[in-house]
C-alpha cells in the first residue's frame, strides 16, 4: 500500500491522504489560521501512527506574482517554508495549482467540479468538500501519484470517461 499526503497550504489549509492501492481518499482535514493552525494537526498525523504508512507527501507550490489574488496573505509561503525547514518538502513533488487542477479537472471557470474524479472520491468516502481546500489537497496527492509515480491505476482513473 502506498499512501500519499497532499497539502493545499494557505490561511485555510487542506490535507488529504490518498491510497494508491484502493484508489480512495482515506482521511482529510482542513485547518484554519495558516501556519499556526497547520503545524499541530500535521504533527499529530505523524503521531497517530500513520508516519510508518506514509510513503510520500506533496504540497501545492505557491508562486508569488502580481496577478495572484492571494498575495496579501502569505500563509501558504509560511507553511512551505516550515515544511522545508523541517525536511518534509520533497524535491519535484510540488505542483503549481494549474498543473494538478488541469489533470484532475478542477480548473475554475473551465471545469464542472461535480464531474471531477476528485469530487466523486470525496463524496464516495463520505468527506465534506466545504470550501474545497481538502479537495485541492486530494488533487495534489492524486497528481503526485499520476505524474511523479506514474501509477497506472491512478492514470486510468483520471482518463475522461468519453475517451
pLDDT per residue of the chain (163 residues) written in tens, 0 to 9: 788 999 999 999 999 999 999 999 999 999 999 999 999 998 887 666 555 566 788 999 987 766 666 666 889 999 999 999 988 888 888 999 999 999 999 998 899 989 999 999 999 999 999 889 999 999 999 999 999 999 999 999 998 765 4
Q: Judge whether 158 and 142 are in contact, CB under 8 Å.
A: yes
pLDDT for the residue numbered 87:
85
pLDDT for the residue numbered 52:
55
pLDDT for the residue numbered 51:
53
* 3-state SS, residue 14: strand
Whether residue 17 lies inside any domain: the answer is: yes
Residue 28: which CATH number? 3.30.420.10
Our CA dihedral for 86, 38, 103, 151, rounded to 10 degrees, sits at: 50
Q: pTM higher than 0.85, yes or no? A: yes
Whether residue 66 lies inside any domain: the answer is: no
Q: Judge whether 141 and 58 are in contact, CB under 8 Å.
A: yes
Whether residue 163 lies inside any domain: the answer is: no
Q: Phi and psi of 134, rounded to 5°?
A: -70, -35
pLDDT for the residue numbered 92:
83
pLDDT for the residue numbered 70:
61
Whether residue 69 lies inside any domain: the answer is: no
- Spatial CA neighbour of 135 closest among 57, 58, 46, 28: 28
Whether residue 116 lies inside any domain: the answer is: yes
- What total number of domains does the chain contain? 1
Whether residue 142 lies inside any domain: the answer is: yes
Whether residue 65 lies inside any domain: the answer is: no
Segments forming the whole domain that contains residue 114: 3-60+74-158
Q: How far apart are CA 107 and CA 111, in angstroms?
A: 5
Whether residue 19 lies inside any domain: the answer is: yes
Amino acid at each position: 500500500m502506498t499512501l500519499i499526503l497532499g497539502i493545499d497550504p494557505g490561511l485555510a489549509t487542506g490535507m488529504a491522504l490518498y491510497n494508491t492501492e484502493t484508489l480512495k481518499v482515506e482521511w482529510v482535514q482542513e485547518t484554519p489560521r495558516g501556519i499556526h493552525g497547520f503545524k499541530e494537526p500535521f504533527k499529530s498525523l505523524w503521531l497517530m501512527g500513520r508516519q510508518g504508512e506514509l510513503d510520500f507527501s506533496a504540497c501545492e507550490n505557491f508562486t508569488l506574482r502580481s496577478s495572484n489574488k492571494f498575495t496579501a496573505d502569505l500563509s501558504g509561503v509560511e507553511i512551505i517554508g516550515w515544511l522545508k525547514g523541517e525536511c518534509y518538502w520533497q524535491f519535484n513533488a510540488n505542483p503549481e495549482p494549474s498543473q494538478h487542477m488541469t489533470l484532475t479537472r478542477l480548473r475554475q471557470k473551465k471545469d464542472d467540479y461535480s464531474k471531477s474524479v476528485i469530487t466523486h472520491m470525496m463524496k464516495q468516502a463520505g468527506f465534506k468538500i466545504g470550501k474545497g481546500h481538502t479537495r485541492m489537497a486530494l488533487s495534489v496527492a492524486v497528481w503526485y501519484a499520476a505524474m511523479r509515480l506514474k501509477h497506472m491505476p491512478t492514470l486510468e482513473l483520471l482518463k475522461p470517461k468519453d475517451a
